[in-house]
A and B are shown apart, each in its own frame.
Chain A
Amino acid sequence: MKVKLRLGATDGWVGTPDGGSHYIWGFVDLTGVPENKLSGFRGKAQLMAPPIVLKVEDEVYLTLTNLGTPDRKGLKEPHTIHLHGFPNQIPVYDGVPEASMAVPVTRDLVYYYKPLDPGTYLYHCHHKPAEHIQMGMAGPLIVRPRDFDPTDIEYKTAYGHGTGTEFDREYFIFLSELDGTIHNLVAKAQEPDWTNYKPTHWLINGRSYPDTVNTTDRFPGQPWPAAVGANVGERVLLRFVNLGFQQHAISIPGVDFRVVAVDAVRLQGLNGEDLSYFKNIIYIAPGQSMDAIFTAPEAPDLYPATLPLFNRNYNKNTLAGGEMGGMISEVRVYAPGTLPPQAAPSL
């Protein structure tokens, strides 16, 4: 199917529960927005960047429009989209400015790709990538298998019918870090020194705990909570993506993960061996993705039971060194039949 998508690159502001606000650069979804309404999206970048959901054999035309940075008017940063992990890409669609071109302010570029393999991918800007990724230009991307059918339990899978990747619900666990000092310097048009990188906030889906579990309030620049909900016995697919600069180790005590895919490749040997494995710590490197499925455990007399989800690098679970915060979220297990079927990932 021909899929037309459009992303805007611009700046914006996000908040952390310690009362901090941080200048970001990021993407905003412009799909279907008429040309004369585009300027209304300037300054509305989102952290994490809008998730993109595709299907195998889609013909994807992804337009990047550089809306500029209204809060730093003098700045004329070009941007790109790097579809991280798409095999057999060609350089003009790969988003590396040193090997093709970048999109200056007010211009467009159409990136084309026809995904052939399902999985959890990621995308990010590749112009001065350390800076642009840290500033927020990064998001997750799902490619559904060709036979994906959310209404048929045998075909609601991550990697296709018969691959052992059936799930009932799916959630992004998109990991990143935020160095408040660097964001501040960029806001003030000063050059950060990257070897002094020292995060102050650790984020899941662009938010720091307890904002991660806040499903009621609206966060305009950070629309994605990270709370995971499921009815008991349901299979939950967590799509882990790490676009920070550090390794992270995510754990949910009480839950055994079955890792079914890493880097959008189902764990399978050359001869078809099933190499999926069980794990209690999801150790994930920057630029990696992992798909892990767990069964919402029974917890009679506790429904809705709350299982903490956290980074076992406990030092990353604070708010700028203060209260509990950072990479913490929770899994809520409900009695059978409580939650209605999920309409879209992470909802």
Chain B
Amino acid sequence: MSAKGKTRIGTRTGLKDNANEKMTSPPPTEKNDGKGRSWIAAGVLIAVVAAAVAISAREFVAMWEDPPIYPGPGITEQFMLSSIAPELAGSAADTEVYVLDGDSPGGTLLILGGTHPNEPASSLTAITIIENAVVNEGRLLVIPRANHSAFTCTDPQEGAPQTYVIETPGGDRLFRYGSRATNPIDQWPDPVIYVGSSGQALAGAEVRNLNRSYPGDSGGYLTEKLAAAILDLIRTENVDLAIDLHEASPEYPVINAIVAHENALPLAVEAALFLEFEGIQIGVEASPINLRGLSHREWGDATDTLALLIESTNPAQGRLRGAINSELILEGADPYYIRAAGQGLLYVPFSDAGHPIEERVGRHLDTIAMLTEIYSSQHGDQPIRISGLPTLSDLSVRGLGTYLDPSIRETDHSPP
């Protein structure tokens, strides 16, 4: 960020100096001396600009690199989404799919993290699953960076950092804080009004929002191609239960909630009742039939999958927050939200404790565990049984970093 700033200032000053020199160019008799000085000045200027461009270009291009994910003991296969959707090959929207095959057959679960890369608990939950889970019965597919392109930029004018760091026993680990929408460098320009593949008319910028692009179009915008590929995956893998992980700002009414397609509503309701019994308050909202383009609507309409979306609480994406930094992203504590809570403006409790990433990832993990447990009890012939996942209380005691320790994954595959 600072390097980019320097680039601009350097360039502007340089141009101005250059112009001044032209206007006040010395008389011909002093031509030689003057020309020598300006050659030196120009040389220095070019060198400075070149250095600044090189530094900022490196930083800019570095954003296209993915921080590593360390496959855990349960991973049996890994492929790129383009292997089933060739139109994504070579594009920034292509993304990894991790497969965890169980010892015995059963149902298939798809977990989608990183639909909106400015909602960090979403992809962190998916990564925690990839690095820790073992499937005993059934099959699990995990996409940790669903909108991969959106991880390569941040939202304009939000002042969000490009990365944040989680402390692990094996050292600090870097993660990317991305944008809500596909990077404009990969999909541009936006239309004035986006009439989605679902037929819903939306503001133009939503054309780059993966969760408005379903059911998608393999010949459409890049984000629509991605949406179509994810639906293809659900179809070709016969996904029985599909969960899209999100976060919401504390002033947004649908928060700490499961949003369920009507086919999945009984499952969501029952899971929420038992989660409450375990001390986790989670609401259930039926997916509105007239709100098109969203995962919980279009996945369920287009396929037999039980489509669900889960929301946790992320003040960093809200409107009432202070500065976005690693602390706000990971601790979820913000004085302005405490004040807003005091005035009854929020849909979740908000205290000094904030909503730390452990709580948010833990809620997602416990909700996924409960949904699969209830699903398995309702579909005895198609069970999905997963072990090795930390719970909300594990995370609260040991910290998320314990379960994302790269040194463990690099050396052996035993769970922490």
- On whether the two chains bind one another, the answer is no
Show the binding face of A for B, using Cβ within 8 Å: none
Show the binding face of B for A, using Cβ within 8 Å: none
